[in-house]
Structure 1
């Protein structure tokens, strides 16, 4: 765990978003992401990483958004507010069986 962020990730078929909070840092929290923020993140990711990336908000407002390329979910992105500054944490899970396919 680094700065209250859990580094272990569930398999892609059951992605969940964890609270980004630690007992000693109550100001680091997972906040709901608006559709406008998701659209800005999507433009950023398409520009910087892959033009086919899509950001999809989840149904529950207390969850993070999913990052997709086509039908495949690559990971999740969470909104973090720390000391009044907002950032976004992108967590990707790569299964060892996926590496064998290359």
Structure 2
């Protein structure tokens, strides 16, 4: 897994905001090297973003976690 540049973070954030229809979505680079890039909505972290490079092709995978306690009642 390679680290993301500030430019990549900005471009990915802009793309995800457009694709998911939320200007409140942010991609946050970690304060320490080796930590995961975080995906947040309105300041609340909802998951992580991972960068992968294989044979010159770069892709980004997003892992979103939803806790059962955050779901509406059945």
Do both share a fold (TM > 0.5)?
Answer: yes
Give the stretch that moved more between structures: 79-88 or 57-66.
57-66
TM-score, normalised by the number of residues in structure 2: 0.87
Residue ranges of structure 2 left out of the alignment (5+ in a row)? none
CA gap of 1:93–1:63, structure 2 versus 1, over 3 A, is same
Residues 1:67 and 2:39 aligned together: yes
Aligned length: 73
Superposed CA RMSD in Å reads: 1.6
Equivalent in the alignment of 2:2 = 31
What secondary structure sits across from 2:59 in the alignment? strand
Map residues 1-102 of structure 1 onto 2, 5 A cutoff: 30-49=1-20, 50-100=22-72
1:56, 1:101 → 2: CA distance?
31
What TM-score, normalized by structure 1, do the two folds share? 0.65
Distance 1:45 1:89 in 2: 12
Contact kept? 1:66, 1:73, Cα under 8 Å? yes
Unaligned stretches of 5+ residues in structure 1: 1-29
Deviation at 1:59, TM superposition (A): 1.7
Tell me how far apart the structure 1 counterparts of residues 7 and 18 of structure 2 sit (CA, whole Å).
Answer: 17
- Greater strand fraction, Structure 1 or Structure 2: 2
